[in-house]
């Protein structure tokens, strides 16, 4: 049984608390948050406090607070625990206290409204001391079937890749949505295409899966489509089309 304390009350903290509470291999002993009312819903089940001085010793203490606050906050911790943060962009070295250090980064987009099943969410781990890795792996495996070891630089790059694969992809959906709305086309027509596009790259590389006017170097259609766009949508269309044109040329050389 691994004992865990969690600091924070945001999306990730909330989902982690729920996941650990239903795991048989983990005992969540305490949740700490500076605004106690945000965690008062837990009061019947676990010890809660708004005073970091009251932090109890656990096998692992998880700091699930905003990226910018991690460094300063970490200096205030005085504990015998392995202390981990949960950020994709912050280095392991940002943890500044006198304790064993690690990172516990679940890669997923989490909204409060959507249910999260941790089983399929990859958790990326890092530890300063190699012997802590098995403890952290055990903890991650208690809620997820997919654990990876990445160093701080790889994690930063993964986070950057996720900006393309998630944030930028979603902004493409936004453009498609806008084009549909302003032409009285039900957006639902695009839903099967969107899901097939995401599924396709399970078996094909994205390079192999590329289709469309730019991939076919169809300059007539590209010109016609540009003429239908303005402002940001035209800028996006032009930048991405030029990049696809270059990639396809490279692949055919």
Beta carbon of residue 109, minimum distance to its own copies (angstroms, whole number)? 6
Per-residue tokens: 26: 């983990």
Beta carbon of residue 138, minimum distance to its own copies (angstroms, whole number)? 20
Cα separation, 27 vs 43, in Å, equals 15
97 or 213: whose CB is closer to its own copies?
213
CA nearest 97: which of 128, 120, 118, 124? 128
CA nearest 63: which of 86, 97, 93? 86
83 or 123: whose CB is closer to its own copies?
123
Beta carbon of residue 126, minimum distance to its own copies (angstroms, whole number)? 13
220 or 253: whose CB is closer to its own copies?
220
Beta carbon of residue 223, minimum distance to its own copies (angstroms, whole number)? 12
Cα separation, 250 vs 210, in Å, equals 13
Beta carbon of residue 73, minimum distance to its own copies (angstroms, whole number)? 17
101 or 155: whose CB is closer to its own copies?
155
Beta carbon of residue 140, minimum distance to its own copies (angstroms, whole number)? 13
Cα separation, 213 vs 220, in Å, equals 9
Q: Which residues contact 80 (CB under 8 A, 6 or more apart)?
A: 57, 99
CA distances from 178 to 51, 121, 168, 225, 229 (A): 47, 31, 15, 15, 12
- Give me the helices (H) in 75-181, please: 133-141, 152-162, 169-181
Cα separation, 150 vs 226, in Å, equals 41
21 or 198: whose CB is closer to its own copies?
198
85 or 100: whose CB is closer to its own copies?
85
């Amino acid at each position: 049984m691994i004992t865990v304390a969690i600091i924070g009350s945001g999306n990730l903290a909330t989902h982690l608390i729920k996941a650990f509470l239903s795991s048989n291999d983990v005992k969540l002993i305490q949740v700490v948050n500076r605004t106690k009312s945000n965690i008062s819903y837990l009061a019947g089940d676990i010890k809660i406090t708004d005073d970091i001085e009251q932090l109890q010793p656990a096998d692992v203490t998880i700091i699930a607070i905003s990226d910018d606050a991690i460094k300063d906050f970490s200096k205030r911790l005085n504990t015998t625990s392995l202390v981990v943060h949960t950020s994709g962009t912050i280095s392991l070295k940002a943890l500044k206290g006198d304790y064993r250090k690690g990172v516990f980064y679940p890669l997923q987009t989490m909204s409060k409204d959507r249910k999260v099943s941790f089983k399929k969410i990859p958790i990326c781990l890092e530890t300063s001391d190699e012997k802590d890795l098995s403890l952290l792996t055990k903890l991650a495996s208690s809620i997820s079937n997919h654990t990876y070891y990445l160093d701080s630089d790889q994690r930063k790059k993964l986070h950057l890749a996720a900006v393309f694969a998630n944030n930028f992809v979603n902004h493409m959906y936004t453009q498609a949505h806008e084009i549909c709305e302003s032409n009285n086309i039900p957006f639902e027509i695009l839903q099967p295409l969107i899901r097939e596009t995401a599924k396709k790259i399970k078996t094909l590389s994205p390079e192999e899966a590329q289709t469309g006017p730019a991939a076919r170097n169809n300059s007539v259609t590209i010109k016609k489509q540009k003429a239908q766009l303005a402002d940001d949508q035209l800028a996006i269309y032009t930048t991405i089309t030029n990049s696809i044109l270059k990639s396809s040329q490279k692949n055919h050389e």
